[in-house]
Structure 1
């Protein structure tokens, strides 16, 4: 059984499932979500697999569903967001769903086509109505006169309005058009229609050029936009009337109208006929509008009913497709009566998987049970860390750097505490932390309703998914802010300061505006401030040197403690994986012990010695100095030793008493430091040489044993030592996995059983080979030695650079506090110093708003992001490199919940 501190033990299982029950069994496993199938057909393309036809049918159903969704959204009909009910798909559902969706799509397409035809007729009638109305307007404002001239000098010719009216009036009178034409010996006609307003200018110029200026054009804008029947977009159009003479010019005008997609409508020259036509058009428009309303109501009703079931259809289609994709990973038995699958399963859930297979078999009414066979393999299993909504975010922080190797120590449980704490050390303001905490608390309390918010943007999704991380970051920031006694850059005095200034000196100093020097012997009460920094330090002139020294030392202590903890976690890895040497079994207890704990005595012990001898000693000096330096009873000023100078002198073997800050801290300091330095020096070659030399000894020993025994089948060792625990993960999974319930005999004799787990039988091996034959390659001392050189250099130099890297805790804390103080002094203090009248009240409101916006934008968002990234760096590099390989791959089980989650993100 796995724990939060280590990934789940996994096992590779082989499944034999009957063809008639395979769909239901896979559906049950998808509902369970604890099985990761492997591809048994890696050389077969996606188009040559067994169930490619069914997948194409699912794709076709999804295409039709997308069309239905587009139609639903076009009517602004909401698709209900029902909770996941876990309905399992059946193989027969494919045909039913396909028929249902196809019928609905056909109905919608027919309705849409009819709507387009109705809309096209409605648009034509509307345009005819506007044409008739405007043609009547042309002819109503004229009086009879002789037609004298028909010439058009182009679009830019500004002829008088009187002349235009004369040209039209003559042609508008009933019974007089023939007389005018006979007088001029020409036949005058006109073409009326509708064109897009944006095309009219080009249309007019083309007519002028083709007619050589012998046409007369009038235009009127249509005030209301007309909907395009094909796209539904509103379009602005204009009514035009073109007067011409001659049939040849008439034919040219019609061609130009067609080229510009201008609709021409036949309009009679008789006023009475136009009136009758107008009445007919208005009647048809009214009837057509009634039909359109009925058709639209029917369409909305169909889409509303479809919207209620749409999510269920989409989920079912995706589930069916997911099942068929999984079935394509299976192999077909030579008898074609069953399918063979291989899958990774958590050992703790084998019984649940068996029960799921039984449910699938029962649902298909099959009498042949599914058989589960546990396979022995050297393939590295996937990494499966169980998480919940609280731990998922912290596990994501670790997985963003690298997935832990199989059964490797999982840093996520420790990151839950260390990550927000180190962030808070850099953030360190109780006021800002309270705002952050309240924001995250709101997200946590309203998480169910906020989960349904979609389209809010990537930034919002990041905040929401990391709400528990932000919650702890704010909570720890409140704690560290109280330790620093920093609330919006101001200190709070709850318990009363432990420093007391004489009243006379205080009065004189305030009158003369002079600082007061407080003597620790005389003015300190002897009892420290109960919690956090004494508020008197925030009024002191040496505030920054004091807080810098304090935060710098705290950063070193926290950094060394976290790195030592990382080395201890590596010990846990060593004790779990134990003997990774690929040699034959040990011949003595001593050899067994040394091989079993090889990495402990060759790596862990020298690493701890090196770290403790140098940086552990530095931490001890810091703590000792805090207890040592204080006021002297005789009133003399104590000499504060410089730890930096002492630490440098430790490596230079320099010990002097002048000046006083180089004086020894304690008696016997010189031999203690020389001993510690000697231990650190010894640990380096120990870490470098011990492991390669011991492996070389084992290699030579077993070579001699093999060559000295002619009856032995032991071949000369040709293996390599793998440092990665993944290389033996398969063996350990088989060795440490508990026996699974059920046997093959039980499944064949008991017809009610639907699943059996076959325990893997160890393959017979020739004497002396043992498990070493599973490793490949030759043992090369040079390669092993080079590998150990790299590891030693990385660790020793990294111990120094990583310790210095933790000083960012102090640097960012200083930057945050100074920015907060500057913002208060430059903005908020101005408002508080203004007068108390109504002008000051308004100014206070405005300035406070500006201060609040700057506080949130700069100190919470920007500084918070900076501290977050630095905390990530400290965990990924300084902490996790002490024990974390991160060479695994995630356990990605086949799960219907993932399918449904993907659908919810799309809808």
Structure 2
């Protein structure tokens, strides 16, 4: 686990891959996921790179597979996911895959086109069938069947000439049911009431062949007289997207047409069923292999995209790549390259050559299922600088502990632990389900964080002796009322006094009243004490100060390991030592005073105990003349004065001395590196770092890597002084503000306990107030209400609040003491991350 405390040691390596083996070698490197490729062609357009055609072919295959996947999902078929991780197909298999996908796509498109045409024909025949049936009903309902051949008073009521018979025309069709009212009004207005409309709803819904949606339509028939009205009616029908169908005028012709339509519908239904069966068979066969196809195509695309990052030798026989990789994994990378060379059948081995560079390597922290969540918490603040101390191992303990200090409740901790255990024990099944819900995915990713927070909450709940706002009396209280009663009998206290008074004060100075401390946690008698809040406030406030100062001192101590590793003795003598002394002499002394007061003053001396807050303020003001403030120990004034002076002396060490020493070191290096002889500036040769630099190959040289292009920056005294002043002021003021910030541990712990108590007294107490049968039913209802509020408010809302405050304490108060977080993350080329969608091209 040593690599977890500091990021992995990285190196820049150069790969020489033979053209015929490059594909297989990159494939093997993608399987192990241990190298990050650098783009050696930053100035080359994407469309001008060597393997751009292969990338386009992979994208085209991916498009076809997405079309097939869409058709499978449209058919409500499950896509088979066996968890198989197929090997990358060799380049010559791309032609076979393209042919397979092309054939499958064309077949599905042809089936869809034919099916849509058949469905459209089926819809038209179905609508015609309903028209013929409804039209016959319309004519049967008419009292005079000769209306079509004789004149009608509907056309012109004032017409008196009835000798010449007039012939009425009609059209029939179907229209959307929702358009009927508007359609009818438009006919009436345009035709001025000279048409007669009959309509009836089609009971069964019809399928739209283009969209597949179910639509509801109505059959209509319109009677009119004359070609002019006929043209108007047809235009209105066209505007309302009504479909007109030919309808015979005689009943015999309609009957014969209906029989023919029914026969055609039956034949068409049989063809549709066969077409659908064929489509289902094609999709079922595709559903079994589409997942594997996706993996193969996306792996091929990733390989060709990576090959586009490489340089090509002038002989066109060798590809040159530069990669960042962990030093500890070089053997695995070499082995992967050998496997790739053997698979390709190449006789020339691939070469891995380590390079020296002044570029800052990426930061890589190896994690597992438990540590990845806490590493993400640290990385959310900032990716660590290369090889600096990683806060994640310490966050595994301190983060859930500080959360639990604010969330301390035995019952709530058990509920959170059970929820986290469910996610942990069923993680394999839940991963296989691939739930796309963003909220669930976030909670599932932090399951081990929840588990640790729940376990620590159980511990702090035992310390607070708090379980759903109630105390557990396991070992019996350390307080006894009998000695107090024996002292008071015959005086103020009697049996009636005990029974009639709810509030009586126990004097711990009386022998036997206080038998001894509770074995673990807080005595349960404090749960019924009226001064419970006063006691807990004092206890939790002092505990918050102690935890905060220890946490910050630990953070400052970790900075020492950074200075030692990077060999910066100046930062140790003029940075770490003044910082640790400044904080320890002031706030470390305050912590010692708290423990001293707890140990020195017992129940008989507690009335004369001085206030630590007043004593700490007077320490800064050098005010020791107040007669009301008694000293805690002999020589307190001299010691406190010395500690304040030591703390003040640390400030100029950080503020001024370090800046002056930095300037003197720069001038010394400048004078040592060059000397003037006769006005000519002569160098003493390259430094040790420059001597170790290996020149890049001519094909991969970059100006930023050449030592000649790396001149030492000119020392700017003003900038360094301002930067050091900001850091010193921030640290000194931060020691005060950060210590006060840890009081949120006390505030949120108190708020959580009070919310839990209010919820119990206002909700659960109602159900427990009655003891009848009806009270049992009421208790069941109230308990459900209590459980919902507990989960929603105390677990989710309060838990999220405590989580965010613990996050702030680590990011601001703890990590800023030693963690800069100015690096960039190591993003290896890995098929696993690409297939999961974690890394984009």
Aligned partner of 1:244 among 199, 224, 234: 224
- CA-CA distance at 1:107 after TM superposition: 0.2
Alignment partner, residue 562 of structure 1 = 551
Unpaired runs of at least 5, structure 2: 486-492, 698-705
Structure 2 CA distance, aligned partners of 1:540 and 1:534?
11
Aligned match for 1:327, one of 307, 312, 320:
307
Q: 1:120 Cα deviation (Å)?
A: 1.2
Query: Counterpart in 2 of 1:808?
Result: 744
1: CA distance, partners of 2:253 / 2:672: 121
Moved more, 354-363 or 93-102: 93-102
8 Å CA contact 1:10–1:733 kept in 2: the answer is no
Residue equivalent to 1:685:
652
1:782-821 equivalence runs, <5 A:
782-821=718-757
Pairing 1:515–2:477 present: no
Q: Is the 8 A contact 2:155 2:225 kept in 1?
A: no
Aligned to 2:152: 149
Match of 1:666 in 2: 633
Rounded Cα–Cα distance in structure 1 between residues aligned with 2:728 and 2:616: 23
- Distance in 2, matches of 1:302 and 1:41, equals 44
Which residue of structure 1 lines up, in the alignment, with residue 80 of structure 2?
A: 80
Q: Does the aligned pair in 2 maintain the 1:567–1:608 contact within 8 Å?
A: yes
What is the aligned partner in structure 1 of residue 271 from structure 2?
291
* Distance (whole Å) between structure 1 residues aligned to residue 66 and residue 636 of structure 2: 79
Structure 1 residues 341, 637: CA separation in 2 closer, same or farther (over 3 Å shift)? closer
Displacement of 1:842:
0.8
Quick check: 1:376–1:731 contact (8 Å CA) kept in 2? no
Q: Secondary structure at the match of 2:547?
A: helix
The answer to whether residue 461 in structure 2 is matched with residue 494 in structure 1 is: no
Equivalent residues in 2 for 1:279-318 (5 A)?
279-318=259-298
Hey, what does 2:427 align to over in structure 1? 447
In 1: Cα distance, 2:255 partner to 2:128 partner: 12
CA distance 1:115–1:676, change in 2 (3 Å): same
Q: Counterpart in 1 of 2:591?
A: 619
1:779 maps to 715
| Deviation per residue, 1:187-231 (Å, 9 max, x gap) | 322222222222333433444444443322211111111111111
User: What is the rounded CA distance, in whole Å, between the counterparts of 1:760 and 1:494 in structure 2?
Assistant: 73
Q: Confirm or deny: 8 A CA contact 2:586 2:644 kept in the other structure.
A: yes
Name the CA shift for 1:338/1:407 in 2 (closer, same or farther; >3 Å): same
1:14 equivalent in structure 2: 14
Q: Contact 1:18–1:370 (CA<8 Å) still a contact in 2?
A: yes
The answer as to whether partners of 2:49 and 2:308 remain within 8 angstroms in 1 is: yes
User: Secondary structure, in 3 states, of the residue corresponding to 1:902?
Assistant: coil
Whole-angstrom CA distance in 1 between matches of 2:762 and 2:839 = 48
**Structure 1 residue 713: deviation in Å?**
9.4
- Give 1:903 shift: 9.6
Q: How does 1:508-907 map to 2 (within 5 A)?
A: 508-521=496-509, 522-525=511-514, 527-579=516-568, 597-632=569-604, 638-656=607-625, 658-659=627-628, 662-705=629-672, 710=677, 774=710, 776-834=712-770, 836-902=771-837
Moved more, 448-457 or 103-112: 448-457
Cα distance in 2 for residues equivalent to 1:3 and 1:578: 19
Contact 2:610 2:632 (C-alpha < 8 Å) held by counterparts: yes
- Mapping of 1:74-473 within 5 angstroms? 74-144=74-144, 147-151=150-154, 183-455=163-435, 457-473=437-453
> Would the alpha carbon gap of residues 447 and 759 (structure 1) be closer, same or farther in structure 2, given more than 3 Å must change?
farther
- 1:670–1:291 distance in 2 versus 1, CA, 3 Å: same
1:453-497 deviations in Å (ceiling 9; x for gaps): 445632212211111001111110110011011111111111122
- Aligned equivalents of 1:419 and 1:378: distance in 2? 36
Alpha-carbon distance change, 707 to 471 in structure 1, aligned in 2, over 3 angstroms: closer
Q: Is the 8 A contact 2:81 2:291 kept in 1?
A: yes
The 2-side partners of 1:283 and 1:679 are apart by: 107
Give me the whole-angstrom Cα distance separating, in 1, the residues matched to 2:233 and 2:512: 107
- Assess, with a 3 A threshold, how the Cα gap between structure 1 residues 652 and 248 changes in structure 2: closer, same or farther: closer
Seen in structure 2, the aligned counterparts of structure 1 residues 732 and 108 have a Cα distance that, compared at 3 Å, is farther
Q: Secondary structure at the match of 1:194?
A: strand
Q: 1:21 to 1:771 in 2, by over 3 A?
A: closer
Structure 2 distance, partners of 1:716, 1:508, is: 101
Query: Is the CA contact (8 Å cut-off) linking 1:186 and 1:246 kept in structure 2?
Result: no
**1:591 corresponding residue in structure 2:** none
Contact kept? 2:478, 2:516, Cα under 8 Å: yes
Q: Please give the per-residue CA displacement for 1:574-608, whole angstroms capped at 9, x wherever unaligned.
A: 000004xxxxxxxxxxxxxxxxx121111011011
Task: State the alpha-carbon separation in 2 of the partners of residues 261 and 640 from structure 1.
Answer: 94
CA deviations 1:639-690 (Å, max 9, x no partner) are 122111111111122224732xx21111121211111111111111111223
> 1:42-92: CA deviations, max 9, x gaps?
112222222222222222112111111111111100012221425223212
Distance 2:513 2:618 in 1: 34
Name the residue aligned to 2:701.
none
Q: 1:360 to 1:479 in 2, by over 3 A?
A: same
Taking a change above 3 Å as real, the CA distance of residues 344 and 904 of structure 1, as seen in their structure-2 partners, is closer
CA distance in 1, matches of 2:695, 2:669: 32
1:163 maps to none
The 3 A distance-change label for structure 1 pair 541 and 772 is farther
Q: CA deviation at 1:256?
A: 3.5
Q: Is the 8 A contact 1:377 1:731 kept in 2?
A: no
- Measured on the aligned residues, the alpha-carbon RMSD in Å equals 2.9
Question: Residue 517 of structure 1: CA displacement?
Answer: 2.4
Displacement of 1:734 in angstroms is: 8.2
Shift of 1:395: 0.4
TM-score norm. by structure 1 comes to: 0.86
Aligned twin of 2:5: 5
**1:218/1:637 CA distance change after superposition, 3 Å:** closer
Contact in 1 for aligned 2:310/2:319 (Cα 8 Å): yes
Q: For the Cα contact (< 8 Å) 2:131–2:174, is it kept in 1?
A: yes
- The farther-off stretch of 135-144 and 6-15 is 135-144
Q: Do the aligned residues in 2 keep the contact of 1:151 with 1:213 (CA within 8 Å)?
A: no
Structure 1 window deviating more from structure 2 (143-152 vs 212-221): it is 143-152
CA drift of 1:860 comes to 0.9
Preserved contact between residue 676 and residue 682 of structure 2 (Cα < 8 Å)? no
Are the equivalent residues in 2 in contact too, given 1:509–1:515 (CA < 8 A)? no
Quote the offset at 1:363 in angstroms: 1.0
Return the TM-score normalized by structure 2.
Answer: 0.92
Seen in structure 2, the aligned counterparts of structure 1 residues 567 and 637 have a Cα distance that, compared at 3 Å, is: closer
Would you say the 8 A contact 1:31–1:88 is kept in 2? no
SS in 2 for 1:21: helix
- 1:708, distance to aligned residue in structure 2 (A): 6.0
Indicate the SS of the match to 2:321: strand
Structure 1 gaps of 5+ residues are 154-158, 160-180, 580-596, 720-727, 736-757, 762-769
Q: Contact 2:690 / 2:707 at 8 angstroms: preserved in 1?
A: no
SS at match of 1:452: helix
Distance 1:703 1:97, change over 3 A: closer
Q: Which 10-residue stretch deviates more, 447-456 or 335-344?
A: 447-456
- Determine helix, strand or coil for the equivalent of 1:13: strand
**Residue of structure 2 in register with 1:764 after alignment:** none
Distance across 1 between alignment mates of 2:120 and 2:232: 26
Q: In terms of mean alpha carbon deviation, does 497-506 or 279-288 score higher?
A: 497-506
Deviation digits for residues 278-325 of structure 1, max 9, x if unmatched? 111111111111111111111011101100101011111111111111
The count of residues paired between Structure 1 and Structure 2 equals 818
